[in-house]
Amino acid sequence: MAEGLMRHQLLSQGINARVDSAGTSRNHTGEAPDRRAIRCMQSHGIDIGGLRARQVVPADLLAFDFIFAMDRANLSYLRALPGADAHKGIYLMREVVSGANADVPDPWYGQPADFETVYHMLQQACALWIPNLIEPAR
């Protein structure tokens, strides 16, 4: 969902940037997003049905200027990757949201409404990150 939202918001502002997503686990490698996530995103005009899960690799630290973790456990994992100590752009996705719990909850075990809640959390965070990090790099 975060990849789709970030790409959508960047393109709507005329910014063409490479956006990708990866998990810290390989459990779902090659799988499409959860059908509830696809439906949620479609209801907001964003198609994520063609995305496929992959596991983050140390080479991602070289390929991307900014890496966003959805929660503190994933942030710790990313910061422990070989080479992460030299990467200056590893953040919690919601740390930019004033007064917010920085973690994005995983809606996997929840109901469709939980995906909608996560959509709004991610939408807000993406909108705040873009002017602070992405646009100045253009």
Which residues are registered as beta bridge partners of 55? Answer: 23
**pLDDT tens per residue, range 48-104:** 999 999 999 999 999 999 999 999 999 999 999 999 999 989 999 999 997 777 899
CB-CB neighbours of 77 under 10 Å: 16
| Two structure tokens written together for 29 | 């490698």
List the structure tokens of 69: 């973790």
Query: 54-65, pLDDT tens digit by residue?
Result: 999 999 999 999
pTM: 0.92
Give domain 2-137's CATH number out of 3.60.20.10, 3.40.50.2300, 3.40.190.10, 3.10.450.50.
3.40.50.2300
Question: Where do the domains of the chain lie?
Answer: 2-137
Task: Determine phi and psi for 75, rounding to 5 degrees.
Answer: -60, -45
Give the separation between CA 55 and CA 70, rounded to whole angstroms: 14
